[in-house]
Structure 1
Amino acid sequence: MGTKFKGSKKEIHALDAFIKLKRAAESVSSRLIADFAKSNVTESQFGVLETLHHLGPLCQKSLGDKILKSTGNITLVIDNLEKRGLVDRVRDTQDRRYITIHLTIEGKKLIESMFPDHVKRVTEEFSVLSIDEQETLGNICRKLGKKDHHNE
């Protein structure tokens, strides 16, 4: 077991599973984001670029929700991407309060150059699992990540 906590069997199993999940996620993530430094991009910045590339322009709140970042944090990430000319904030012509974030040509070029290598590295990381194990892991993570999973 990964925990030294002396509690009920249920508590010990939950803590042990949490520790293993957290360590595995951090380990894989740290190996994957090491290559982002080559492009001078943070993990959050990559997440924004990748999300915009695949989903198209989004409002700042939706972007934050997609990459699990707080409002304050996503503002800073977008500010830094905008300073580098990788994204633009575009005000809606009908409702000037509504702003969407768009990839610039440079942002599109950058994510298109980075993404294939990222996919390759993710595939390599997950190659220790069979396809069935990857599907099972995905289903478990989806179930665990649901906000209302206690009500199922």
Structure 2
Amino acid sequence: MSESILDFQLEQAIGLNVNRTAFLMTEEIARRFAEAGYAVTAQDFGILFRLMKQGPMTQVEIAQLLMRDKTTITRRIDGLVKKGLVERNPDPADRRYFRIGLTGEGDRALEVMIPLVRDFQTEVLSDIPDEEKAITIKTLKYISEKLMNNKRG
């Protein structure tokens, strides 16, 4: 085997570390949501948060915004409808589509969940200097943009 293959250190790969960190963070925030009485995932929270910020959207718009496939988003929304956190309403412009919007219960859930997420972020990142956090975010955004541009081109 060539020396370059033997020198490769998987533990130093950005993708491995980003995935591992994301997994651990999503598991922990889901645990905290459950403790607060909301059996939702981090992905569910992402849907709820986007609906709060941007208003009702179609499932296709949500899937594109969150960079998930339509089937996954449909399943997530079905679960959120069953929990009474979102509702499907016919799109007034095109009756073939539904617009997904928050319910009153969804609004109340976000009033609990947003502080949990904020506190969790603060707790996890408390020992990291602001400059290092900014560099990490800038680097990850750069990698994401590069990958999205490669996908388009």
- TM normalised by structure 1 equals 0.82
Distance 1:69 1:101 in 2: 16
Name the CA shift for 1:67/1:8 in 2 (closer, same or farther; >3 Å).
Answer: same
Show the counterpart of 2:17.
Answer: 20
Deviation at 1:110, TM superposition (A): 0.8
Show the counterpart of 2:144.
Answer: 145
> Do 1:92 and 1:98's aligned partners in 2 also have CA atoms closer than 8 Å?
yes
| Greater shift in the superposed pair: 32-41 or 126-135 | 32-41
Distance 2:149 2:58 in 1: 25
Q: Which amino acid aligns with 2:5?
A: G
Structure 1 stretches of at least 4 aligned residues deviating more than 3 Å after TM superposition = 11-15
Count of aligned pairs between the two proteins: 146
Name the CA shift for 1:82/1:28 in 2 (closer, same or farther; >3 Å).
Answer: closer
Distance 1:132 1:149 in 2: 29
| Greater shift in the superposed pair: 11-20 or 142-151 | 11-20
> Do 1:60 and 1:75's aligned partners in 2 also have CA atoms closer than 8 Å?
yes
Show the counterpart of 1:68.
Answer: 67
Deviation at 1:148, TM superposition (A): 1.7
Name the CA shift for 1:30/1:19 in 2 (closer, same or farther; >3 Å).
Answer: same
> Do 2:10 and 2:16's aligned partners in 1 also have CA atoms closer than 8 Å?
no
What CA deviation, in whole Å up to 9, does each residue of 1:86-144 have, x standing for no partner?
11111122311232110011111111121112111112111221111111111111111
